[in-house]
């Protein structure tokens, strides 16, 4: 069966990021909630000592309210938010962190490189509402661990999409059965060849570390990329005899990593075409 290739429509993606007209959420594992608007997702990881928010959609208060509403809807308490962990220094992932910090005094985590990148190189220089607006408490790097209660997140340094991008590995549970999730931090490969090579090296690093961790669950912060909206819908209506659509097995997880490599190959072809290189 011939399937169409995945194409990142960057203009549609950017225009949809601030859209607060529609949200969805689903508890996709015993300890993991996903909340998303039309383009970007936030994940809330439950531990024995509170909640960890990973990424936060967009810097608007309605995004914060959507995350809080999702947490409350599944019976968790947003007052239990203790940490806010960010994959990279783009406005649609640092997102509504200001409100998370102001309301729940959450400790914040990001790489030093991307904290400086976020502040010095705003994606939209003419939109102050997307500029850096809260402090990072903890700088993290490759091999670091973030622990809250019974849960530890392994940090991987995966530059390319941004200069200091991060990816994460953490445990999730499906009806009490443990799985290992790998979250790739930055989807779209950069536009410069040198940065694409960094991205490719980061994919190799991510693949190796997720292989060693036995990851069998892929978590994507842009749900369109992995058909996440359909998987969330399935999760909401899932019955006890049905499989979890996020569990793909270790072998398939590693095959999924090849998609990020393919994105790089397509980006290099685009760069070559734009520069008349054959």
Closest listed residue to residue 6, CA positions, set 172, 189, 171, 139: 189
- Spatial contact of 129 and 178, defined as CB atoms under 8 Å apart: no
- What are the strands, taking DSSP E only, across 158-240? 166-174, 177-183, 217-219
Per-residue pLDDT 10s for the chain (278 aa) are 877 777 778 888 888 899 899 999 999 999 999 999 999 999 999 999 999 999 999 999 999 999 999 999 999 999 999 999 999 999 999 999 999 999 999 999 999 999 999 999 998 999 999 999 999 999 999 999 999 999 999 999 999 999 999 999 999 999 999 999 999 999 999 989 999 999 999 999 999 999 999 999 999 999 999 999 999 999 999 999 999 999 999 999 999 999 999 999 999 998 988 888 87
Q: How many angstroms from the chain centroid is the CA of residue 228? A: 12
235-243, long-range: CB within 8 Å, 24+ apart, which pairs?
235/26, 235/27, 235/28, 236/26, 240/175
CA distance 125 to 121: 8
Write down the pTM of the prediction: 0.96
The domains of the chain, with CATH numbers, are 23-274 (3.60.15.10)
């Amino acid at each position: 069966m011939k399937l169409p290739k995945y194409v990142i429509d960057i203009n549609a993606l950017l225009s949809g990021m601030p859209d607060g007209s529609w949200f969805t959420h689903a508890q996709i594992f015993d300890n993991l909630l996903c909340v998303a608007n039309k383009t970007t997702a936030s994940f809330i990881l439950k531990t024995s000592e509170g909640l960890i928010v990973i990424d936060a959609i967009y810097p608007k208060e309605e995004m914060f309210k959507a995350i809080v509403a999702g947490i409350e809807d599944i019976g968790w308490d947003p007052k239990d938010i203790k940490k806010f962990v960010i994959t990279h220094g783009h406005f649609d992932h640092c997102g509504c962190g200001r409100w998370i910090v102001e309301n729940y005094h959450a400790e914040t985590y990001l790489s030093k490189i991307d904290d400086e990148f976020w502040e010095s190189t705003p994606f939209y220089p003419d939109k102050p509402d997307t500029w850096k607006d809260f402090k990072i408490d903890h700088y993290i790097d490759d091999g670091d661990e973030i622990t809250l209660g019974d849960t530890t997140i392994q940090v991987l340094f995966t530059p390319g999409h941004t200069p200091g991008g991060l990816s994460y590995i953490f445990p999730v549970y499906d009806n009490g059965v443990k799985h290992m999730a790998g979250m790739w931090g930055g989807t779209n490969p950069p536009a410069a060849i040198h940065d694409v090579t960094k991205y490719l090296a980061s994919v190799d690093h991510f693949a190796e570390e997720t292989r060693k961790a036995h990851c069998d669950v892929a978590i994507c912060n842009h749900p369109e990329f992995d058909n996440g909206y359909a998987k969330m819908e399935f999760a909401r209506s899932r019955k006890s005899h049905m499989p979890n659509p996020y569990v793909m097995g270790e072998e398939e997880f590693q095959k999924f990593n090849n998609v990020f490599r393919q994105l790089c190959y397509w980006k290099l072809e685009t760069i070559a075409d734009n520069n008349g290189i054959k």
